[in-house]
Chains A and B, each alone.
Chain A
Amino acid sequence: MAHMLSPRLPQVDAVADDLVGTLKRIPEGETIQVIGSPSAGKTALLHQVAQRLLEQRSCGLVPILLSPPTGQRDTGFAGFAEAAADFHRRNVINGEFEKLADTKEPWTWAASLAAFKRWVKDKPEVVLLCDEPSTWVRQTGEFDHYDLFARELVASVLDAPCRKLVVGTSHLQSANTTTLLPSRSEPFEWLSTAEEWGALAPSAEVVKKWNAARLGTCSPLSIRLLVALTAAGDEVRARDWLASNQNGLVDLAGFVRAALQKSPTYRALTSIWDALALLRRPFGSDLLAASGTDSLTPGARFLLDHCILYQEATPRARWVLHDVLRQAALLPPEAKLQELHRGFAVAYHSAVAPSSPTGTVDTPEDRLVAEVEAYHHATASSDATTLGSLKPLFVEQMQLLGRELSVRGRKLQLSGKHAAAKALFARSAEAYRSAVQLRTTDDYGHHFLGFNLDARADSPEEAEKHYREAVRLNPSRARWHSSLVQFLIDRANFEDARAAWAQAIDSLSAQLGDLAIYSELHLFVARAWMHRSQLLEARKTLEAIPKSFDRPELRAVRARLEALEEAEGGRAFVPLRYLKKGWASSGPFLLSRGAQNKPLVRWLAARIEAVEKDVVSLRVASIEPPEAKKVSKTMTLPIEARELRRLCKDDSPPRFRAGQFVELGYYGTDKQPTAGRFYREDADEDLLPPAFPPYDRYLNPEQ
């Protein structure tokens, strides 16, 4: 049996008492904030406050606890489901929970958000207890459609006209009162309790002897990790961490994981740790078993239960893997990852099944929350069988499933598994299609339905229809325009592409100050034109990008366009990597500027045009003097293969063939070239922005 966390967090009890008092005093709409470092006990504090408020029913306050999975694409839905469950559990809402739980048709996010706003309006008794809402939204720095839902949930929670208690690590601007939660654990008595540490008691004893002042400020999690690190054989690093950097809790967790990995006794524990990190909520023994704990030795299991996991300070006493440890976990290999997600999906699903003998979820509220988790894991596993047995609660969950399948399909496509990829694109399209049928005005769904049909490359008319519908429904989204224009260019439907481009520029005219537009629209459209060798169109598209937009991928597209323009003008005498306007003045690229005390006076950039018997026909550009800004003349130069080999010595390729590039140099007063160098035939690194779906998907279905 693992220890309970709360006795090790005495400060939490004290602060909880104060907060309950404050909550009773403050008017509706006010927000109390509690700031504490990671593992200071903030979540435990919320549970304590909730417990106290429930015990003191006479005070008239009803706690609603919101602690959704952090930073996930479905955080919005998961948070809403959790809220619905708690509102129902506390009898604040009637009817709507049943509608959600027994839904025949999934809810839309808009309907969910409107419901949440209704639930908190004119409810003086409600107190929202929010666990670090600043972490609910993914912090990637890039726009993601699904982050919007989490953002809207956070905004709705923080703007709610009821009382709110918010815990977090940083200051919240809208807070009316702020309280600090110190990080303490009173570790000495705890570390001395041999019966609690069991086989780890010697390690606990070692830790206890270290710097008392520093240990006194450690959180319980830090203490447990220090004991684990010592037990795993890296006492030195544990002591160093305590001495130098107590703030790097993720570092400490990483050290522990590394030490366990090296330890023959505990190695198996790391894969369990990695597996449990995939679970987003406190879990019961069924899910713990699904992670593979049966394979652990008793010693490893003891360390898992006592140092890696802890149990909630609630009557349900579910297991918890702290976020810090989740961050230190490694993502299992793809196949294993899918297997784990599948196992967790099945475990969650079994748990909620009313007839299941292993069912551990016995309330409809818990069942609702578990169903969201089951769907999440089934989505992540992409397992059709598991998914077939589940029903999404939200339309957007279906879209998220479509996204996951599509992303996985793309990975398969890039690794050359075209048939498997197409199967996933088909399933993705089906998921989006189901979502679109429920919400016909959803531009996002239409776009990605079109996108996945397009990726499959077998129903272009339908793909185009949905691309166009997305643009019609939301003409302010640059991405929708970008996909449509690219599709039309890829399909060589240039006239329609030009018309769609004009419509895009017209629709987005008010947003052209936003540089993101150029990244999403111009860059990709220019690249698509370029791929179809429509260089003037590509040039026009790039010239519309303001100078202030400067990205490596834009530079790469511009460089490629310059190279292709040289090719269009018949000036492609050097490989792609050197080919730009005025390339002659930058060369020679391989020849030395002098040989045998003679200066280079002229060089030829050449490519083999044809090989016939023993004669190589070179297409040649002459550059004289070597630093000349222009090619002096171009010509066709027949040369004997034997002579070419002699000039290039060991540098010659084993076989001459059309398309190879070579430089020939004239030194001093020599009338003939006396040295030559061939370019290596390695492919140039492609710095262009990724193109997906592949441009030639309709021509080469195998691509």
Chain B
Amino acid sequence: MQAPQLREDLLYVIVLGPGFGESILVRVPPCSWLVVDSFRRQSDATVPTRDLLRHFGVHDAAVALTHPHLDHVDGFPDVLSQIRAGLIGCDPKVIGGVFPTADADAIYREGAKRAALMAIHNQWQSTPARRWELAAGSKQPVGTAQVTVLYPTTDARALRNPSPNRVASPFWLEWGSFRALLGSDLDHAGWAEITPGEPPLRGHHLLKVAHHGSRHNQHHEVLTGQPPRAWVLTPWMLGAGVLPLLEDDEGIGRLLRDNTEVTVTWLPLNAKRTKAARRTRLEALAELRGEEILGRFAREDPTPQEQEGAWLAVGFDQSGKLVHRQAGPSCVVLCVPQKLSRRAAKKGTSCR
């Protein structure tokens, strides 16, 4: 993939999300890094996060695994082989368990998960100083910025066999006046435990929307606030499953009720049907917007090569102002046109 150009004075949040898998890189000026999750590109099994880190010559960074779902763990060992110093964050409770035997899907997911956990375990064992237990309240500096782990709480960590999304770790990032919320895949029950409280999550400048925009992973204390705020989400596609959804009260439709725009690293419009199987995704989006969609990716999905360009890099200054935005060619910004802004609670639109 083409790497973004980074200005020395800005804090950058780079979100990678080509359709299956999500990773976030934060560069705090001048050269401190936070790496959140990783994925493996399906076409050639490469690890874009590692490749980007290599491109920027990064060997020292705080690396965190928010939860052990396949689209967040795959390639994590390769990322750690690039990053030789810095904290490695994980909830140690996710390490262990019985390996499945009869279900290929479960075997495949568990294999990738354990590879990541093994790599983390190795580093924690050999260099205990790199151990960073992800638990609510944990704060770590990343250069001149500070990262606060919002979840899981002590109560959540005591849950028996919770789903990974139930105990996923979102991060609150502070740098000067700039605030960013990296929402991971935390579900609504988890957000409900965090909010309301400190920090005030709605006061963010950047939100990496939780779990590809799924309704069950959003919380009004996060979403309601003063627009415009930079919101970004990544798509998720596997077999019959596609996210984000495009219904009125789902996914993009839901998000555009609270913000004037949402950036999707690419939008799988032609991916079969919506959840309710009532209409195509294209039809759903057209209905949402009220007029015909522009742009090539409304007609056909990007090629695997184009999907490599499913990234967004946004640069902020210390006041929280977004001053530099770069995007891969498949990135789509969905926004509420000014003439429709009053009706934003009901309808949204798309423009590229």
Contacts and interface: CB of A to CB of B under 8 A. Distances in A.
B97 A494 contact: no
A620 interface: yes
B108 A493 contact: no
Most buried by A among B44, B103, B111: B103
A460 B122 contact: yes
Contact of B126 (A461, A496, A681): A461
Nearest to A684: B102
A572 B122 contact: no
Interface stretch (A135-143, A259-267, A532-540, A667-675): A532-540
Interface in A482-523: 490-496
Contacts of A576: 102-104, 107
Contacts of A695: 99, 114
A492 B77 contact: yes
A683 B102 contact: yes
Interface stretch (B129-137, B195-203, B235-243): B235-243
Contacts of A568: 42, 108
Given A532-B115, A568-B108, A634-B239, A699 B121 contact: yes
Contacts of B125: 460
Contacts of B109: 533, 567
Given A492-B77, A570-B240, A635-B273, A534 B45 contact: yes
A575 B272 contact: no
A533 B117 CA distance: 13
Interface string B291-329: 000000000000000000000000000000000000000
A575 B103 contact: yes
B1 interface: no
Interface in B74-131: 74, 77-78, 81, 95-97, 99, 101-112, 114-119, 121-122, 125-126
B219 interface: no
Contacts of A699: 95-96, 114, 117-118, 121
Nearest to A618: B240
A495 B78 contact: yes
A683 B101 contact: yes
B275 interface: yes
A494 B81 contact: yes
B122 A491 contact: yes
A169 B95 CA distance: 60
B159 interface: no
Given A495-B81, A619-B241, A620-B240, A567 B105 contact: yes
A534 B70 CA distance: 12
B77 A579 contact: no
Contacts of A8: none
A55 B108 CA distance: 76
A492 B107 contact: no
B108 A532 contact: no
A632 to B, nearest CB: 11
B108 to A, nearest CB: 4
Contacts of A684: 101-102
B277 interface: yes
A636 B115 contact: no
Interface in B231-253: 238-241
A496 B108 CA distance: 22
Given A564-B104, A575-B102, A635 B240 contact: yes
A631 B334 CA distance: 33
Contact of B108 (A491, A492, A567, A681): A567
Interface in B260-308: 272-273, 275, 277
A557 interface: no
Contact of B97 (A535, A633, A700): A700
B99 A698 contact: no
Contacts of A490: 118
Nearest to B78: A494
Contacts of A60: none
A240 B239 CA distance: 69
A536 B108 contact: no
A593 interface: no
Interface string A632-645: 01111100000000
A493 B102 contact: no
Interface string A562-576: 011011111111011
A530 interface: yes
Contact of B239 (A531, A571, A700): A571
B107 A494 contact: no
A540 to B, nearest CB: 10
Most buried by B among A536, A686, A699: A699
A636 B238 CA distance: 12
B114 to A, nearest CB: 6
Given A461-B126, A619-B240, A659 B106 contact: yes
A645 to B, nearest CB: 22
Contacts of A532: 111-112, 114-115, 118
Contacts of A636: 240-241, 275, 277
Most buried by B among A576, A633, A681: A576
A108 B44 CA distance: 51
Contacts of B111: 530-533, 564
Contact of B104 (A461, A579, A696): A579
A567 B105 CA distance: 5
Contacts of A533: 74, 108-112, 115
Interface in A669-703: 681-684, 686, 695-696, 698-700
Given A494-B78, A536-B45, A570-B241, A696 B101 contact: no
Nearest to A540: B45
A492 B119 contact: yes
Contacts of B78: 494-495
B230 to A, nearest CB: 31
Interface string A50-85: 000000000000000000000000000000000000
24 contacts: A491-B119, A492-B116, A493-B81, A494-B81, A532-B111, A533-B109, A535-B108, A536-B45, A537-B45, A563-B104, A567-B105, A567-B107, A568-B42, A572-B103, A572-B104, A572-B108, A576-B104, A621-B240, A681-B102, A684-B101, A684-B102, A686-B101, A699-B114, A699-B118
The 8 closest A-B pairs by CB, nearest first: A570-B239, A533-B111, A634-B240, A492-B118, A536-B45, A533-B112, A492-B119, A570-B238
Given A532-B111, A696-B118, 10 more contacts: A492-B116, A494-B81, A532-B118, A535-B45, A571-B239, A572-B103, A576-B102, A683-B102, A684-B101, A699-B118
